[in-house]
Amino acid sequence: MSDVTEFLTETPSAFRDENAESLREHAARALGRARERSTALTGAVDDEDLVRQHSKLMSPLVWDLAHIGSQEELWLVRDVGGREPLRPDIDDLYDAFQHPRADRPALPLLGPAEARRYVGEVRAKAFEVLEKAPLTGRRLTEAGFAFGMITQHEQQHDETMLATHQLRQGEPVLHAPAAPGRRTGPLPAEVLVPGGPFLMGTSVEPWALDNERPAHEVDVEAFFLDTTPVTNGQYAEFFDSGGYDQRQWWSDAGWEYRTTHDITAPRFWYRQQDGWWRRRFGVHERVPAEQPVVHVSFHEAEAYAAWAGKRLPTEREWEKAARFDPATGRSRRYPWGDEDPGPEHANLGQAHLSPAAVGAYPAGASPLGVHQLIGDVWEWTSSDFSGYPGFAAFPYREYSEVFFGPEYKVLRGGSFGTDTAAVRGTFRNWDYPIRRQIFSGFRCARDARGV
Ligand SMILES: [Fe+2]
């Protein structure tokens, strides 16, 4: 072990002071919050809407709902609780690996009333299990991991359901206060992230998933990172200068995608005589210039970066900018420190139904002065999704390992639709580079050799 490694440390476990009772309360609150959100997202539309497929990219909302219950039954009721199955007959219907999203509407799915009853019964049993389960002695239940995993799973499906709402046609059915405006003066365009090693990933965060583990030392060369995500106003300049029609900014795969799918602007944008407009959860509005661009594919992000004379950051660069504290050498849980996200730190949890203006969260900036790394938009990185050195699949290969490979790109930081339970400085999301129904944006980086 090098001297450097001894210098590099990680914040100790977030739950280090929690006893079993407070852990149970913490898990119960997290599960309850997730269920409130699932209930709101599925209660906002009528039954006909719940069973409809709003896009081939998405499941009917009623599939997501029963799938949430099915996973909870498998892990919390049957595995942790050792209880009898409630509905073994529907396991296959809600196994995401058995049925691609496009095929799900044709399955004999539980109807809305049945699905609601099912998830309610499962939850009642899961709470019984939570009251008694030993939270030590077995890795699956250590520090309440299984309950955390199921909470994150439900919150991730809630974000997917929010993306389905965005694809849905019709009048607005979701409501939230407008996202905040800028709360800083002008910010520098870029921040210099110093070269050198830092500790990436985590070995101590109790509810971190297998792909975030273990903590490992990574050397990163000095680089410049955009202080904020790329805004709609900046992105429109790329469009206005003809970027979508100029082959030189696009990779081969990106150009192929751009031309065969007739990609001409971010998804949900449309041109009016007075400029760009967008449809956002049923509301038609002018595209706000100061908000981060959202609903762009990896290919569009990469083309913009090339046009700007920059590139996308690698995943390790992103994480160093988000976690490394140069004063102590320590990797933080979040850019602002170790405390869980609050409304002053980041635009998370569907508190607002759009990204917030750049400069809206000065309290959430990293020690180096990088803003809005957490929340607002998922940020595309240039990295393929892969396992860290020492990776071990847990609790099952299908959680992450089967997705490792060059066909998926990593996204970081969470969006306005990501709950606080389902994002942290180490959290990794992945998707195909053509996807843009997700709440995806980006920021740019560039080399700083010789600085
Ligand atoms: Fe799932």
Q: Is 175 annotated as belonging to a binding site?
A: no
Angle, helix 252-260 to helix 298-307, in steps of 10 degrees: 120
Tell me how far the alpha carbon of residue 149 lies from the centroid of ligand 1, in angstroms: 11
Burial of 251 from C-beta contacts in 10 A (0-12 / 13-18 / 19+): middle
Tell me how far the alpha carbon of residue 399 lies from the centroid of ligand 1, in angstroms: 9
Q: How far is CA 392 from the centre of its chain?
A: 22
pLDDT per residue over 59-96, tens digit each? 999 999 999 999 999 999 999 999 999 999 999 999 98
Tell me how far the alpha carbon of residue 166 lies from the centroid of ligand 1, in angstroms: 19
Model pTM score: 0.96
Tell me how far the alpha carbon of residue 143 lies from the centroid of ligand 1, in angstroms: 22
Q: Is 153 annotated as belonging to a binding site?
A: yes
pLDDT reported for residue 71: 97
Tell me how far the alpha carbon of residue 395 lies from the centroid of ligand 1, in angstroms: 14
Angle at 54 between CA 49 and CA 57, to 5 degrees: 145
Cα–Cα distance for residue pair 371/334, rounded to 1 Å: 12
Show the domains of the chain with their CATH numbers: 3-167 (1.20.120.450), 181-451 (3.90.1580.10)
Tell me how far the alpha carbon of residue 385 lies from the centroid of ligand 1, in angstroms: 18
Divide the 451 residues of the chain into consecutive groups of 10 and give the mean pLDDT of each group: 53 71 95 98 96 92 97 97 95 90 88 98 98 92 96 98 96 97 97 97 96 97 98 97 98 98 97 96 98 98 98 98 96 96 98 98 98 98 98 94 97 98 98 98 92 51
Q: Is 157 annotated as belonging to a binding site?
A: yes
pLDDT reported for residue 13: 66
Q: Is 104 annotated as belonging to a binding site?
A: yes
pLDDT reported for residue 413: 98
Tell me how far the alpha carbon of residue 336 lies from the centroid of ligand 1, in angstroms: 30
pLDDT reported for residue 8: 73
pLDDT reported for residue 101: 86
Tell me how far the alpha carbon of residue 38 lies from the centroid of ligand 1, in angstroms: 13
Tell me how far the alpha carbon of residue 153 lies from the centroid of ligand 1, in angstroms: 6
Tell the residue number behind the tokens 């004999």, with chain if given: 108
- Half-sphere exposure of 122 toward its Cβ, with a 13 Å CA cutoff? 29
Q: Is 67 annotated as belonging to a binding site?
A: yes
Tell the residue number behind the tokens 């609780």, with chain if given: 81
